[in-house]
């Protein structure tokens, strides 16, 4: 009998292939150093599955996180906008949803600490466009139901709500269980990275004809440093650990990425699926950010550069590279464009698919960072190859084309360049002031921070 169009569309795999909208699988590591993949120079860590994404697609040499810590980076990635526009999320949320600087503390006192539902995430945009959506992994954008993943456009959620957890007990430092599934605490046996990966694969197995968006923010290799060989948290505490254990954690994550990629193959979805891998910020001192200066929580290149790999068969050329300056929120804007979604708010990110494909040359960018914790304020602006850093008032100017390691301070030699960047940074800070902090500034007697 002849096969009709209706019969074709009734077949899940064929219908999936016939839908012009790509599936999206967005995978993120946590605190992984720039140089901690084999394809980025690691010699003591084997990451064949993650590396395969770049071998089958594009490898980034100029990719940045929007912040040097977890919560602000995730805010920018999901909203496509500078996290400063939200307010109170310029620093990782503390254990138990604690605010760590004045604006965040003020919001926490009013039970407003987290990503509010007024901010429209890429998951919500895609769900409204007909996508199935799921998040399997670390949330870190609010502990309470007012900020839960399911309210932000995810049909299903499984993972930890906070910033870290014992990989076997699934508890934070204070002993609280933070493993949740669709708004309810759950108990599961097993290593957290494996549980996250298995849930992602199980969700993929249930897909039918609709396009899908799967967000997999692993908590690995964030502390505590535990692996298959080190099951107890080191006696020195959550932030003590060895490079060897860290490497094992990355390799366990790589194995789970391999399982996700294999499932895409098994279900016949790989050809129409855009797979993205990156980290949320630079590595800590057990990670490697070589050749760059600095670590997590700094706005030096080592704190904000990320390894980034993408594959999308028929779109990105295998084994290609892009030097386009790209931030996390550019991924958001590009996903929206690929899915034919019109964001309800203007995005700060840009659709850079043409640059990543190599169809257009890399375009110049002016991009900004600001990080807050306690009394610390660290910020930076990059304009072309020039970068101005203000680390708690101490300024330095660097030309990244000639000095990617930020070793030579050219502030005295190039005062006009520094003045221009300083002016752009001040204008940006005015532009991204958060509406929900108006009352804070009115009642505290402070002005929108520009120090």
What residues act catalytically? Answer: 70, 140
**Cα 442 vs. chain centroid, distance in angstroms?**
33
Evaluate whether 337 touches 330 at the Cβ level (below 8 Å). no
What secondary structure letter does DSSP report for 84?
A: G
Buried b or exposed e, range 59-85, using 16+ CB within 10 angstroms: bbebbbbbbbbbbbbbbbbbbbbbbbb
Residue with tokens 């074709």: 8
Return the C-alpha torsion angle 105, 111, 117, 119, nearest 10: -20
Rounded to a whole number of angstroms, the distance between the first and last alpha carbons of the chain is 74
Contact 32, 236 (CB under 8 A): no
Residue 291 to residue 102: CA distance in whole angstroms: 34
User: What CA–CA distance (Å, rounded) separates 338 from 159?
Assistant: 27
- Tracing tokens 């906070």 back to the chain, one arrives at 162
CB 365 within 8 A of CB 325: yes
């Amino acid at each position: 009998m002849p096969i009709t169009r209706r019969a074709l569309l009734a077949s899940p795999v064929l219908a999936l292939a016939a839908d012009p909208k790509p599936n999206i699988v967005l995978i993120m590591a946590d605190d992984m150093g720039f140089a901690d993949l084999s394809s980025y120079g690691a010699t003591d860590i084997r990451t064949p599955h993650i590396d395969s994404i770049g071998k089958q697609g594009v490898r980034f040499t100029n990719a940045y996180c929007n912040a040097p810590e977890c919560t602000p980076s995730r805010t920018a990635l999901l909203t496509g906008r500078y996290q400063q526009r939200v307010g109170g999320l310029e620093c990782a949320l503390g254990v138990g949803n604690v605010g760590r600087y004045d604006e965040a503390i003020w919001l926490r006192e009013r039970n407003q600490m987290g990503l509010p539902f007024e901010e429209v995430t890429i998951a919500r945009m895609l769900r409204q466009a007909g996508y199935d959506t799921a998040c399997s992994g670390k949330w870190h954008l609010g502990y309470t139901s007012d900020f839960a993943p399911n309210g932000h456009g995810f049909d299903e959620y499984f993972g930890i709500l906070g910033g870290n957890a014992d990989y076997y007990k699934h508890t934070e430092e204070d002993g609280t269980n933070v493993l949740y599934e669709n708004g309810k605490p759950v108990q599961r046996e097993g290593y957290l990275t494996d549980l996250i990966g298995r849930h992602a694969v199980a969700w993929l197995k249930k897909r039918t004809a609709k396009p899908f968006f799967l967000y997999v923010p692993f908590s690995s290799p964030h502390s505590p440093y535990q692996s298959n060989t080190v099951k107890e948290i080191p006696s020195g505490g959550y932030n003590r650990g060895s490079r060897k254990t860290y490497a094992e954690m990355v390799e366990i994550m790589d194995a789970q990425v391999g399982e996700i990629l294999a499932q895409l193959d098994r279900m016949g979805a790989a050809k129409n699926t855009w797979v993205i891998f990156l980290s949320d910020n630079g590595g800590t001192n057990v990670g490697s950010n070589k050749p760059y200066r600095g670590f997590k929580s700094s706005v030096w290149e080592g704190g904000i550069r990320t390894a980034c790999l993408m594959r999308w068969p028929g779109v990105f050329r295998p084994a290609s590279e892009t030097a386009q300056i790209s931030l996390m929120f550019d991924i958001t804007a590009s996903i929206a464009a690929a899915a034919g979604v019109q964001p309800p708010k203007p995005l700060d990110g840009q659709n850079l698919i043409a640059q990543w494909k190599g169809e257009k040359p890399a375009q110049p960018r002016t991009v900004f960072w600001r990080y807050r914790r306690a009394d610390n304020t660290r910020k930076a602006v990059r304009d072309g190859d020039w970068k101005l850093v203000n680390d708690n008032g101490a300024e330095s100017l660097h030309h990244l084309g000639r000095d990617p390691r930020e070793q030579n301070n050219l502030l005295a030699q190039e005062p006009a360049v520094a003045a221009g960047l300083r002016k752009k940074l001040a204008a940006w800070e005015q532009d991204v002031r958060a509406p929900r902090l108006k009352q804070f500034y009115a009642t505290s007697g402070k002005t929108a921070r520009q120090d």
